[in-house]
Amino acid sequence: MNGPDPVYDGTGSGGQVVNRDLRVSDAEREHVGQLLQRAVGLGMLSLGEFTERMDTALASRTRGELNSVLVDLPGVRLIGEPATERAAGHGKPVPLPQPGHAAASGLAGVVQGGAIRPRMSGVNRRGNWQVAPMLRVNSWLSGVTLDFTQAIMTTQVVEIQVDDYASSLTLVVPQEATVDLDGLELVGSSVNNKVRSGPPIGPLHLLVHGRVRFGSVTAKQPFMAHWRRLLGQ
C-alpha cells in the first residue's frame, strides 16, 4: 500500500512539492530555531515575533506546522525541499548551502546548535569559545557555567533551551548584555537574574527557556565588573 501522496505546501517557494504531514525530528526543529535566530540578527524579525515563532516551532509535529514559521523569510529552504531556491524575479534555481555549512549571507548557512549534557559533572565554557545561535543544556546533578564575556558570537540573540535536574546553571555576560529568564518552568528551583532583562539593545541577548527541577539558574556579570560598578568606574 502506497503512502500519502506528496501535497504542495502552498507556502513553499519555487513551486516545490513537500509532504506537509510527515513528522519532523528534534534536529529539524533545532535547525529552524537557528534560522529564526539569524533572522532576528538580520533585522527581519522582532524579538516578540521570534518568541512566537519559536513556540510554534518547538510544538510542531509535522512539516506543514514547522514550515509555517519560515514562509515569509527570504532565502530559506523549507523543511523537505530540495537544496535549491528560485531567485526572486528569475526562473533559475540558486543552490543553498546545507544546514551547518558556512554562507556569506542569508539565513541558510547557520552553525549547528551546541549541546551540553553533563551527568554528575562540572562544565565550564570560558574564553574565546564559539557560541551557536541555539544551545541545549541537559544536566543531571551537575554544575554548568557559560561565560560569554570573551565568547565568539554569531548572532545577537542566543537561545538557551534548558532541561536540568538537581543542577546549577550560571550565565556570565558582558555589562551591556541582557538576559530573559521568564520562559523557565521551575519545580523546586530558584532563578536569580542580576543583569538587565531587556529589551535587547546591546550586542548580546540570552533567551532562556525550558524546565529546571530542584536546581538553580543565575545570570550575572563578571566579578570585576560588579566591583567597578560599585566604585563608580
**77 and 167 assigned to the same domain:** no
Q: Does some domain include residue 3? A: no
Per-residue pLDDT, averaged over 142-164, amounts to 92
**218 and 158 assigned to the same domain:** yes
**39 and 118 assigned to the same domain:** no
Map residue 67 onto helix, strand or coil. helix
Share of the chain above pLDDT 70, in %: 71
State the pairing for strand pair 84-86/93-95. antiparallel
**119 and 224 assigned to the same domain:** yes
Q: Does some domain include residue 182? A: yes
Rg (CA), the chain: 19
Q: What is the pLDDT of residue 224?
A: 61
Cβ atoms of 131 and 148 within 8 Å: the answer is yes
**91 and 190 assigned to the same domain:** no
pLDDT tens by residue, 56-115: 888 889 988 888 998 888 766 676 665 444 333 333 333 333 333 333 333 333 333 478
**164 and 206 assigned to the same domain:** yes
Sign of the torsion formed by the C-alpha atoms of 201, 124, 215 and 116: positive
**64 and 137 assigned to the same domain:** no
Q: Does some domain include residue 17? A: no
Q: Does residue 21 carry a pLDDT above 90?
A: no
**51 and 154 assigned to the same domain:** no
Per-residue pLDDT, averaged over 45-57, amounts to 84
Q: Which of 8, 7, 11, 9 is nearest to 71 (CA)?
A: 11
**157 and 87 assigned to the same domain:** no
Q: Does some domain include residue 108? A: no
Answer with the one of 60, 95, 130 that is the final residue of a domain: 95
Torsion of CA 155, 212, 216, 145, to 10 degrees: -40
Cβ atoms < 10 Å from Cβ of 225: 17
Q: Does some domain include residue 15? A: no
Share of the chain above pLDDT 90, in %: 35
pLDDT tens by residue, 96-113: 333 333 333 333 333 334
Written as one string, the DSSP assignment of 142-191 is -EEEEE-SS-EES-SEEEEEEEEES-EEEEE--TT-EEEEEEEEEES-EE
Q: Does some domain include residue 9? A: no
As for how many domains the chain has, the answer is: 2
Q: Does some domain include residue 123? A: yes
Question: 27-41, 158-172, 197-211 — which one is most confidently predicted on average?
Answer: 158-172
Distances 190 to 12, 59, 168, 187, 198 between C-alpha atoms, Å: 43, 26, 10, 9, 20
Q: What is the pLDDT of residue 16?
A: 45
Q: Does residue 38 carry a pLDDT above 50?
A: yes
Joined grid coordinates for residue 139: 544536566
Domain that holds residue 216: 114-230
**119 and 222 assigned to the same domain:** yes
Cβ atoms < 10 Å from Cβ of 67: 24
**189 and 123 assigned to the same domain:** yes
51: pLDDT confidence band, cut at 50, 70 and 90?
Answer: confident
* Residue the block writes with cell 519545580: 187
Q: Does some domain include residue 102? A: no
What rounded mean pLDDT belongs to the chain? 76
Q: What is the pLDDT of residue 77?
A: 67
**41 and 123 assigned to the same domain:** no
